[in-house]
Amino acid sequence: MRGKVYDLLEQRVEDLATLPGVAVQLIEKCSQTDVRISELASLIEADQAIAAKILRLANSAFYGRPSAVSTIREAVMMLGLETVRALGLSTGVYAVFERQPTQDRGGLERLWQHGIAVALCAREISRRVGHKERERAFVAGLLHDIGQVVLAQHLPESYPAVIATARTAHLPLERAERDMLETDHAEVGGWLLERWHLPPELRLPVSLHHQATLPASGDATAVTACIIQVADWLATSQGLGSPWRDDSVMLVPQCRATLAIEDDALIQLCLGLDKRVSQVAVAMGLSAISPDVFQRALYSANRSLAQMAVELD
């Protein structure tokens, strides 16, 4: 079955094979040590979607600037290269998938919101534990469930049954995927990022984010993978999980040991997460989190913070 799944995906995702040109150039430019701000600004100005999102993010409540940012150059200088790189990549990814037919557009939007929640948590965890690759962790968090998008859009005849089985049998979604497809969305996400020629530092945390055993903890990529697992767990515990799973996300003990993050710090990360996600979602051109999701998030927060304290004890 595994081979058949990838054969089908190969046949059906030809239009996913490449990212938009400006997004690719932006990623490459931001990776250069001698890049000029003026070069980046000119490149961004050539893509209206990326330019609009960068200006919107720079002027959003998330950054809280007292005065408006009116030029791309100002926005790039304020946001920094890694944030611009992340926004360029995410905009390119959204553009690719917006062109695809889907039976659950609302579900896809909520999945992107979940990605933002995990990305924000991943960046903050990175900061708290002194992980230098914090923006790379942000991007990996943003893309960690992209395999779910691929499976939902390109296996419409079989993936809904996988989701239904996970819900009725109370199985983790990735377990149902492995049982029925012989692969899971984490592996599919890694496969897609490899097709896009993204570096292992991004691919591996995505492909490993549901693995019970991770590479040696001294490896920076393994640390990022641990951060993504913890960030996914935190976001889901706050009612900001994937719309296609009802179960909680497993937290691998190795991740806590690797990160050595204080219990109180994990709990503090959850406070106000829903509002921060909504701010960034709007800045990135997505819908704000709906009131019913806010209510679920508030309920989940009140219910789970005490439970988290017990689990982390």
Q: What is the largest CA-CA distance in the chain?
A: 56
Q: Which of 260, 268, 273, 263 is nearest to 309 (CA)?
A: 263
Averaged over 46-50, what is the pLDDT? Answer: 80
pLDDT for 161 equals 94
pLDDT for 207 equals 94
| Res 305 pLDDT > 50 | no
Please state, in angstroms and rounded to a whole number, the distance separating the CA atoms of residues 243 and 246. 8
Residue 229 sits at φ, ψ, to 5 deg, of -60, -45
Statement: the pTM of the whole predicted model exceeds 0.85:
no
pLDDT for 15 equals 61
Please state, in angstroms and rounded to a whole number, the distance separating the CA atoms of residues 110 and 113. 5
Residue 199 sits at φ, ψ, to 5 deg, of -70, 160
Unique residue bearing structure tokens 């990776």: 31
pLDDT for 98 equals 67
Q: Half-sphere exposure of residue 124, counting CA atoms within 13 Å on the CB side?
A: 21
Nearest 5°: the CA angle 64, 301, 245 is: 105
User: In percent, how much of the chain has pLDDT > 90?
Assistant: 17
pLDDT for 290 equals 62
More confident site: 225 or 10: 225
Q: Are 234 and 269 in contact (CB under 8 A)?
A: yes
pLDDT for 126 equals 92
Averaged over 178-183, what is the pLDDT? Answer: 94
| Res 248 pLDDT > 80 | no
| Res 34 pLDDT > 70 | yes
Please state, in angstroms and rounded to a whole number, the distance separating the CA atoms of residues 69 and 74. 6
Of 64-73, 191-200, 214-223, 293-302, where does mean pLDDT reach its minimum? 293-302
> Which residue type does 300 have?
S
| Res 189 pLDDT > 90 | yes
Q: Which of 299, 295, 277 is nearest to 62 (CA)?
A: 277
| Res 105 pLDDT > 70 | no
pLDDT for 236 equals 84
C-alpha distances (whole Å) from 123 to each of 108, 117, 129, 132, 283 are 23, 10, 10, 10, 17
Averaged over 192-204, what is the pLDDT? Answer: 86
Burial 271-308 (b: 16+ CB within 10 A, else e): eebbebbbbbbbbbebeebeeebeebbeebbeebeeeb
| Res 311 pLDDT > 60 | no
The conformation of residue 12, written as its DSSP 8-state character, comes to H
- 218: Cα separation from own chain's centroid: 23
pLDDT for 238 equals 78
Two tokens at 97? 């998938």
> Which residue type does 208 have?
L
| Span 2-14+103-312 CATH architecture | Orthogonal Bundle (1.10)
Over the chain, what is the mean pLDDT?
79
| Res 35 pLDDT > 90 | no
pLDDT one-digit tens code per residue, 258-271: 888 877 777 777 77
Averaged over 218-246, what is the pLDDT? Answer: 83
Q: Label residue 144 by pLDDT band (50, 70, 90).
A: very high
